[in-house]
Every structure is written in structure tokens, then in C-alpha cells.
Amino acid sequence: MKFYRSAYFVFILLVLYGYSLSAAMAEFLDISLDSPIVSVVFRSFLVFIGLYLITKTVISGKAYKRDGAYLLILFLLIYSFRLIYDLDILNIHTTISKDKYYAFYFLVLFLPTFTVIISRIPVGFSENILRYLKFIIAIALVANLILGLMNYQTLISQGVDSIRLSTGRFNPISMGHLGVSTILLIYIEIKILKTPYSLISLTLLLLGFVAMIMSGSKGPMVAMILTIIYVNHISLGGLGEKLKRLVLVGLVLFSSWFLLTVFNFDMFDRFSSIFSDTELSTVYRLNSYIESFYIFVNNPFFGDSIVLPSGGYPHNILLEILMSIGVVGILLFIVLIAKVNKASKYLARVEPRYMIIIALCFQYLISFMFSGALWQASELFVLIALILSLKSNLKRSIAEKGVYAN
């Protein structure tokens, strides 16, 4: 029982922050992220632990039905067929190798999602998940911040302009989102769960802001604001308390502006560049949005391609679903998100300690509206599976015992 519980926690933490830790390790060792020392070991751990959890659950006879599980698996299977059809039958041009597509999608996204939706949630999950997440996020944040600041200082000494905090293996967007995850965790810990302030928490909060701000990315900032608003909306508490939290969000934004000034980095220029036709990232995204829409129009019901004509992707999960699996796919995804929203509200009301899972899920949902591809969205789909599983587990526990016992 103890080994199963430990394996389950390690599995969840690896899926969510394995990339952050792998990137720091690869940067420290000065090796590629695709090096067998990093990628093969990471994926092997996921496969081994995932198969162990599934086998153990099936043998114990506790593979209970999860609300929304069939919908989630159906969506991923439909995308799997599109992926195989495009890569193996049509042999379409992509900027990523076929082996990398398959390795990441099936081993890092599909298998972990299936594992979480099937596996039994161990006793003590609600009591320990926040603490374990805080520990692993702190390690990932500090490691990547140190390496990122070293890289930052090197680029400054070389006279490079417009520097955004990153390392050779950990890009600015990922750095920004790691900072946002830290901010959300501390916000929930202090404001939602009413945990007393601690020096460690305040230090992590400050480091989270440094990572988010110095990354110079728009997506993480937007994700932070919208996630805090959503978490505040579904959390317990009266109107007055929720208004106080929104005031806190305002103070947070003001503090962000102050820190931006200190670092001499104008985030407002980054935001205003969204509407500029001279900002290259904005122009690229607008062109990719138009391309993806035309692909969708070619076959609106079932989609037409997993990639754009250039071989890339639109950096918006909704447009990518439309162009790859069409109206069928987007309807499934919308219903799935509606179920997750309903489950999140239930969890927030009955077990607030799961609020960090809800916040991370919402953060990743927003993040994949701005960057990344569906086949890379392992964190999002695993968190969706986890929220659906937690709700089903909680409702079953209350129905059987009259109280929640996890």
C-alpha cells in the first residue's frame, strides 16, 4: 500500500514537472534534452510506474468508473487515429520527427492520462498533494532560476539586447509558467486554505514573480490573472471575502509593474505588441491562425491535418483541435471542459485542498491557448483526468461512508 501511494505521487509529479527537472539536469550536464540519459530515463520511469499503477488497480478490483472517463479516452483515441493516419499513411511534412511525435504523445501524454483515469487514488492524497507539489516546484524553480540567471548574465556580458530569462533547454514561456505555478500554489495556500505565512512561502512567491516577469512572456501573465479570478470565483467564502481577494490580485499586478520597472523590462510593451503588425511573434501567430482555419474549412466535420502547411502548429489548442479532428473533436473537448468545470466546483466546495489541482489545470488550459501543441499537452490532460477521478472518488467515498475519507 505504501509503495503504491509513493508510486502514485511520484507519477503525478513526474508528469507535471518532469520536463522542468529534466531541462535543469540537461542544462547542468550540458547535454541535449533528447539525450538518452534524460529522455529515455524519464519516459522509462513514466511507462514503468504507469503500468504498475494500472496493473495494481486492476488486480485489486478497484478500477471504478469515472464520470467523463469515456469521453476523455474517446477524444484522445480520435486524435491518435489522426496522428497515425497523417504520419504513417499520408507521410505529411512536419518539423518534428515521427518518432518524437509518437514517443511524446503515446508515452508522455496518452499513457499517463489513461493511467490516472484508471488508477485508484491512494489514501492521504488530499492531505499530501499540496506539500509534495510545493517541494517539487521549489526544486524545479530554484534550479532553473539559477541556471537561467547565469545564462542571463552571460548574454548581458556579450552585449545581447532584449534578453528574456531562459536556459538553453528551458524556454522563456516555460520559465514564466513555472513562476506562475509557484505564485498560484502560494496564493491558494495562504488565501484559500488560510495557511499561516512562512518565510519559505514568501521567498517562493518572490522567486515566482521573478521567473514570470523576467521571462517576458505574455501567456503566463494572462494565465495567472485568469486563473486567480477563476479560483476566486469557485472557492468558498462570501462576497466580501472574494472582493478582498480580487483587491489582492490588483495589488499583485501593481507589484508586478513595480518589479518590471526595477528590472527595466516593460511588460506593457509586450502586451501592446499583440496589436502591432511589426511584432514578429504576433504576425506569425495571426498567419498560423488563418492557415489553421483554412485547413478546418477543407474538412470541417473530421478535420484535415495535425500540422500547418509549414509543418508547424497554430499555438492554440482550440484551433488545433478544429484543424486536426474538426467539429467532432471540438464538441467533445468543450463537453469535456464543461465536465471538468462542474467537477472543479464540486471539489472546491467539498475538499478545498484540491484547489491547487484545479488551478494548475486552468493555468495549463489557458497556456495552451497561447503556445504549445496538443500532442505536447500532457500536463493539461493528466490534470483533467485527475480532476474527474478525484470527483468520482470523493462522491463514492461520501456515498459509502457518509463522510469523505481520503
Examine the pLDDT at 129 and tell me if it is beyond 90.
yes
Residue 102 in domain: yes
Examine the pLDDT at 403 and tell me if it is beyond 60.
no
Residue 389 in domain: yes
How many angstroms separate the CA atoms of 233 and 341, rounded? 12
Contacts 24+ apart (CB under 8 A), 56-63: 56/4, 56/119, 56/120, 57/118, 57/119, 57/120, 58/118, 60/120, 62/120, 63/118, 63/119, 63/120
Residue 23 in domain: yes
Residue 9: domain span = 2-279+281-401
Q: How much is the pLDDT for 13?
A: 96
> How many other CB atoms sit within 10 Å of the CB of residue 171?
16
**237: confidence class by pLDDT, cuts 50, 70, 90:** low
CB 67 within 8 A of CB 343: yes
Q: By three-state DSSP, how is residue 55 classified?
A: helix
Residue 234 in domain: yes
Q: How much is the pLDDT for 391?
A: 93
DSSP codes, 305-320: -SS-TTS---S-HHHH
Taken as a whole, the chain contains a residue count of 406
Examine the pLDDT at 277 and tell me if it is beyond 60.
no
DSSP codes, 84-139: HIIIIIS----SS-HHHHHIIIIIIIIHHHHHHHHSPPPTTHHHHHHHHHHHHHHH
Q: How much is the pLDDT for 379?
A: 96
How many angstroms separate the CA atoms of 384 and 271, rounded? 29
pLDDT, greater one: 121 or 237: 121
Residue 63 in domain: yes
How many angstroms separate the CA atoms of 316 and 47, rounded? 28
pLDDT in tens, 73-96: 999 999 999 999 999 998 888 888
Examine the pLDDT at 389 and tell me if it is beyond 90.
yes
C-alpha closest to that of 290 among 327, 311, 319, 326: 319
Q: How much is the pLDDT for 274?
A: 45
**39: confidence class by pLDDT, cuts 50, 70, 90:** confident
Examine the pLDDT at 211 and tell me if it is beyond 60.
yes
Residue 135 in domain: yes
* Number of domain units in the chain: 1
pLDDT in tens, 8-19: 999 999 999 999
Q: How much is the pLDDT for 260?
A: 58
Q: Which amino acid is at 103?
A: A
Say which DSSP state 189 is in: I
Contacts of residue 76, Cβ cutoff 8 Å, sequence gap at least 6: 109, 110, 113, 114, 381
Residue 406 in domain: no
Residue 249 in domain: yes
The residue-averaged pLDDT of 342-350 equals 93
